[in-house]
Amino acid sequence: MNSKYLKYSSLLVALTGLLACGSPQPAETPTAAEVLMDQLRSLQGKALLFGHQDDLAYGIGWQYEEGQSDVKRTAGDYPALFGWELGGLELGRARNLDRVPFDKMRSFAQWVHAQGGVNTFSWHPYSPVDTSKNAWVVDERVVEHLLPGGSHHSHFLAQVDQLAHFFKSLTTPEGGTLPFIFRPWHEMDGGWFWWGATLTEPEELQALFRLTIDRLHEQGVDNFLVAYSPDRNFSTEAEYLSWYPGDDYVDIVGVDNYWDLNQGAEGLSAAIHKLEIAVQYAQKTDKVAALTETGLDRIEQADWYSANLAGVLEASELTRQAVYVMVWRNHDLSHFYVPHPEHEAADDFRHFVGGERYLLLSDWQQFKNKN
């Protein structure tokens, strides 16, 4: 688990030894995040969750319609994993950078949890140094100013506190907070974000990652798993880990990979190799691995899901250990990753998610009941 749980492990071992000499002690009830981690572990080698960004918020030809979902429209069920974006929350805005109201996002996430699904949050913050610049403006160094001693350190901590406030509002009917996956600072090995490789040293990004998670814990947010997800710019484990903040801070080791999955046989071979690197590291460190982002915009290859995506996920015993895959959002007919029912790729998509190993929401419920 992430550092909140790991830092007490040695103490717990010692206490266990002492208690064994006395009267029997009741077992500690696992946290919801620990339960979620165990559920994800149970998927390894058996099945994986299918996820979609912003699935309940909008899709092709609709917006904020209760019960609507492009995955459901095409495949007959909701995804098992739902992605949400927090960019803009750090500025106190009512809507995120894709115009999704945070009040609606909270309700969506609560509904997902109530139905047994999994929520995952990404964060593309505006630059804390110049909040007029979004995450994709890469014209100045930012990260060095956010670390302890930096000119905008306090300002950055206040922005993380905005996230903490939102996370603590994700309550359940029982009065707790729902578990979720948090995937900050993704694709840091690329050059398209202000925290990316063009403007940031690996050690700076590692420190920023740790600072973010530590601050959330300090603010009382502890019911979450942390995902690490560089892009495709690596070919060895050492390169994959060059931005890694440390085992104490990560539960899910992922890969964001769009490019390789859309570059023919050579690209697919590369995608397989990179996912295997993540899986091998997960196996060595008792974590789980995932294809955290992928897709083909507008799905201009009709068999992309069964040929390319399944071709990577089913390529080897290692790739079959991945526990989830998530494709990006459906904005409109110019930008979408799940086919609408009339699209030429719709039948292939239905065949893909209808496979025994790929779980939609009701499949995920049945899987948990059996395992």
Say which CATH number the domain at 289 has. 3.20.20.80
Where in the sequence is the domain holding 245, given as residue range(s)? Answer: 3-370
Distance CA(81)–CA(154), nearest Å, equals: 34
Under the phi-then-psi rule, with left for phi > 0, alpha for psi from -120 to 50, and beta for the rest, what region is 298? left
Closest to 263 (Cα-Cα) out of 219, 296, 288: 296
Give the total number of structural domains in the chain: 1
Q: Which residues of 276-305 are buried (b: 16+ CB within 10 A; e: fewer)?
A: bbbbbbbeeeebbbbbbbbbbeebeebbbb
Q: Any idea of the CA torsion for 353, 259, 95, 54, to the nearest 10 degrees?
A: 0
pLDDT score, position 4:
45
Closest to 196 (Cα-Cα) out of 274, 141, 253: 141
pLDDT score, position 12:
42
pLDDT score, position 45:
98
The pLDDT profile of the chain, 371 residues, written as one tens digit per residue, is: 664 444 444 444 443 443 444 556 667 899 999 999 999 999 999 999 999 999 999 999 999 999 999 999 999 999 999 999 999 999 999 999 999 999 999 999 999 999 999 999 999 999 999 999 999 999 999 999 999 999 999 999 999 999 999 999 999 998 889 999 999 999 999 999 999 999 999 999 999 999 999 999 999 999 999 999 999 999 999 999 999 999 999 999 999 999 999 999 999 999 999 999 999 999 999 999 999 999 999 999 999 999 999 999 999 999 999 999 999 999 999 999 999 999 999 999 999 999 999 999 999 999 999 99
Distance CA(327)–CA(298), nearest Å, equals: 12
Closest to 254 (Cα-Cα) out of 222, 282, 224, 284: 282
Under the phi-then-psi rule, with left for phi > 0, alpha for psi from -120 to 50, and beta for the rest, what region is 165? alpha
Closest to 135 (Cα-Cα) out of 124, 119, 151, 146: 124
Closest to 223 (Cα-Cα) out of 11, 37, 44: 37
pLDDT score, position 27:
76
pLDDT score, position 86:
98
pLDDT score, position 181:
99
pLDDT score, position 28:
87
pLDDT score, position 126:
98
pLDDT score, position 9:
43
Specify the pTM.
0.93
Q: Which residues of 100-134 are buried (b: 16+ CB within 10 A; e: fewer)?
A: bebeebbebbbbbbeebbbbbbbbbbbbbbeeebe
